[in-house]
Amino acid sequence: MTQHFQHDVLVIGSGAAGLTLALKLADHLRVALLCKDAASGGSTFYAQGGVAGVLDSTDTVAAHVDDTLNAGAGLCDSEAVRFTVGQSKACIDWLIEQGVPFTEDPDNTNNNAYHLTKEGGHSHRRIIHAADATGRAISNTLIARVQQHANIDLYEQRVAIDLVTREKLGIEGNGCCGAYVLNRATDTVELFQARFVALASGGASKSYLYTSNPDGASGDGIAMAWRAGCRIANMEFNQFHPTCLYHPQAKSFLISEALRGEGAALKLPNGERFMERFDPRGELAPRDIVARAIDHEMKRLGCDHLYLDISHKPDEFILEHFPTIHKRCLKFGIDITREAIPVVPAAHYTCGGVMTNLQGRTDVAQLYAIGETAFTGFHGANRLASNSLLECLVFADAAASDILANFENTATPAQAPDWDESQVTDSDEDVIISHNWDELRRFMWDYVGIVRTDKRLQRAEHRIALLKREIAEYYSNYKVSNDLLELRNLICVADLIIQSAMKRKESRGLHYTLDYPNTASQAENTILTPPNWQTQPAEPDTASPASA
């Protein structure tokens, strides 16, 4: 028998977005907060640079808005940008109130009590940070708050499999009321039901062979929302971070953009600098330009990495500003105060995602999407550094207000049936999962990576069609496991990335194709619509026939 849990709100994901939403609801409602592994397992924990916001008295909302619009290459929704940037100070103040230990600036050099850094594409110093481990500070602080809150039940080692919708319950209309969830500790499937559900499950960068993201970034929320009937937008815009540590034992370690902000130089193996040849802003050009320049030079020279050098700065400066990077590199025998760091680009951020409005509502009523899972229109065709944590905070806040305003008028969900395992057996061939997992991530890297062509995308399309069939068959015959669920979701999001990339017949922002190198005069979002999409607006369900 399936174990059932009932809450007011179900939040899937415990990164910056999910933790913030849970905390903002919990004084009024009972919240279930799920995460795949430990609560700190998402990308948030690994964020180094910081959170962008208008904090310096010489900076303005208009300047931050302009920088975001410039990075977005004509595709940002200007209302979403103004809304998000306008909320930046309030959301960062809330983090400070929660006790996040941001690096202070006793000298007040930026007219602010906190030290602010500048990153690529920003016209001002406006990144608040906790040394070079900002995500860890945010994550640890908010998790501690969540653990202290009596109204939040935190469930670790839980993998949401699929959403429970009215469609699946055979009830007319459009709405979400829970999720089936794999408990990894007991290997059983549980049912979580709630009046509102929020997807805060991070991005999909694990679709690629090289990524800066932790293992769980398999696009689960995007895939679940697609299957539940939500439109998904702009999945072709994958940000590749230019500089991940290149070392056989260093899994996904990012060398923060802040190093380049503080003067680190990109170099070829012979020590020559090259960025000026690609962009007058040099190392401070936006990430897509830097990543493409590195990719170009690596391919031209046939080498598997280049170098980032900050060793000309005083030792004390490096140790004070980049203690984590210094320590981590030393572990691999690289002393960044003395020598250059070997680096490669890696998939870093998913700009597209589940389409939402400014309250975080999706196409399915009572279902919200926030953080990296969502597509709000804020980033456009390219994300400006340190704008993503900001988006997590702002949209978690907006979704919390919307849920609180509509909670009383929303019906209690109908009881969903138990999870049916009567037709499946234990897998006897796990090699299918590991093989397909590797194959998928490699062809996505080779054919749908930093530089694309029609031919490469067609190759990827053929391969994804085969994998889709194999895994659909496997899924219907065998018991679910975390690896199988992640692979199923990765195949779904990789397909969405390929379809979106094929639709875009131009190069813009992060999408670069040799077949269409120019930017079209008209900027349009790529919107993919699932077969079960229902056109009615996502209003809260006030008249459910099944209401209790």
Ligand X SMILES: Cc1cc2nc3c(=O)[nH]c(=O)nc-3n(C[C@H](O)[C@H](O)[C@H](O)COP(=O)(O)OP(=O)(O)OC[C@H]3O[C@@H](n4cnc5c(N)ncnc54)[C@H](O)[C@@H]3O)c2cc1C
Q: Which residues are catalytic?
A: 287
Q: Which of 400, 351, 397, 408 is nearest to 375 (CA)?
A: 351
- Of 50 and 120, CB closest to ligand X: 50
Q: How far is the CB of 178 from ligand X (least distance, A)?
A: 13
Torsion region of 465: left, alpha or beta (phi above 0 gives left; psi -120 to 50 gives alpha): alpha
Pairing of strands 265-267, 341-350: unpaired
d(CA 84, CA 67): 13
- Of 159 and 266, CB closest to ligand X: 159
Q: Which of 153, 148, 127, 198 is nearest to 7 (CA)?
A: 153
- Of 373 and 382, CB closest to ligand X: 373
Q: Which of 258, 255, 210, 285 is nearest to 450 (CA)?
A: 210
Q: How far apart are the first and last CA of the chain?
A: 23
DSSP-derived secondary structure letter, 3? E
- Of 117 and 544, CB closest to ligand X: 117
Q: How far is the CB of 418 from ligand X (least distance, A)?
A: 19
- Of 234 and 388, CB closest to ligand X: 388
d(CA 144, CA 98): 10
Q: Which of 291, 283, 301, 217 is nearest to 251 (CA)?
A: 217
Q: How far is the CB of 383 from ligand X (least distance, A)?
A: 8
For residue 245, CA distances in Å to 47, 130, 248, 442 come to 15, 21, 9, 19
**Residues at the site binding ligand X, with contacts judged by CB under 6 A:** 12-18, 34-37, 41-44, 46-51, 134-135, 158-160, 200-202, 212-213, 216, 220, 254, 349, 371-373, 386-389, 392
d(CA 400, CA 383): 24
- Tokens representing 72 are 């977005």
Residue nearest to ligand X (CB): 15
Q: How far is the CB of 456 from ligand X (least distance, A)?
A: 25
Q: How far is the CB of 126 from ligand X (least distance, A)?
A: 12
Count of CB atoms situated within 10 Å of the CB of 28? 14
- Of 271 and 323, CB closest to ligand X: 323
- Transcribe 498-524 into DSSP letters: HHHHHH--S-BTTB-BTTS-SPPSS--
Q: How far is the CB of 15 from ligand X (least distance, A)?
A: 2
The identity of residue 107, as a single letter, is D
Q: How far is the CB of 365 from ligand X (least distance, A)?
A: 21
Q: How far is the CB of 52 from ligand X (least distance, A)?
A: 7
- Of 49 and 377, CB closest to ligand X: 49
d(CA 112, CA 413): 48
Q: Which of 448, 474, 475, 472 is nearest to 462 (CA)?
A: 448
- Of 69 and 143, CB closest to ligand X: 143
**256, 325 contact by CB (below 8 A):** yes
Helices (H) and strands (E) in the chain — how many of each? 15, 18
